């Protein structure tokens, strides 16, 4: 059986109204997005882990722990009214335009401290 190509899309914008800076706030001694990316890597499910962000700080943190930031999230998808579906669609369209072929895509929220690898 051929191995499937699976990509993870992690949405992480800089502005949050309820919890400012939530994607890079420390949780158990590290930025919360780091915990999520580390778990995605440790799962060995994903061929690529892409972070969709409009923040240089989130991009820097994400890159240091092995995620990719191949594009910047546009302003119209970086507000409280942008849907997860729109963000996912934008990310996947970018990857397709880049010529990247994948079989499955998974949308994983950055502030996800209870994510289980199993």
The token pair at 41 is 């890597």
The token pair at 20 is 């400012």
Q: pLDDT tens across 100-111, in order?
A: 999 999 999 999
By C-alpha distance, which of 36, 58, 40, 52 is closest to 91?
Answer: 52
Predicted pLDDT at 117: 84
Q: pLDDT tens across 52-96, in order?
A: 999 999 999 999 999 999 999 999 999 989 999 999 999 999 999
1 band by pLDDT with thresholds 50, 70 and 90: low
Flag whether pLDDT at 2 surpasses 80.
no
pTM here? 0.93
Those residues whose C-beta lies under 8 Å from the C-beta of residue 90, and which sit 6 or more positions away, are 52, 73, 74, 77
Mean pLDDT for 31-55 is 96
Those residues whose C-beta lies under 8 Å from the C-beta of residue 21, and which sit 6 or more positions away, are 14
The token pair at 17 is 């109204």
**Cα 97 to chain centroid, rounded:** 19
């Amino acid at each position: 059986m051929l191995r499937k190509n699976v990509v993870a899309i992690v949405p992480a914008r800089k502005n949050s109204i309820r919890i400012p800076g939530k994607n890079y706030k420390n949780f158990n001694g590290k930025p919360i997005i780091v915990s999520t990316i580390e778990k995605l890597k440790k799962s060995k499910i994903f061929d690529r882990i892409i972070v969709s962000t409009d923040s240089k700080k989130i991009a820097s943190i994400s890159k240091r722990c092995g995620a990719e930031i191949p594009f910047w999230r546009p302003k119209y998808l970086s507000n409280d009214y942008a849907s997860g579906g729109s963000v996912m669609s934008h990310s996947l369209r970018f990857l397709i335009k880049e010529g990247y072929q994948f079989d499955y895509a998974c949308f994983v929220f950055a502030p996800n401290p209870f994510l289980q690898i199993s």
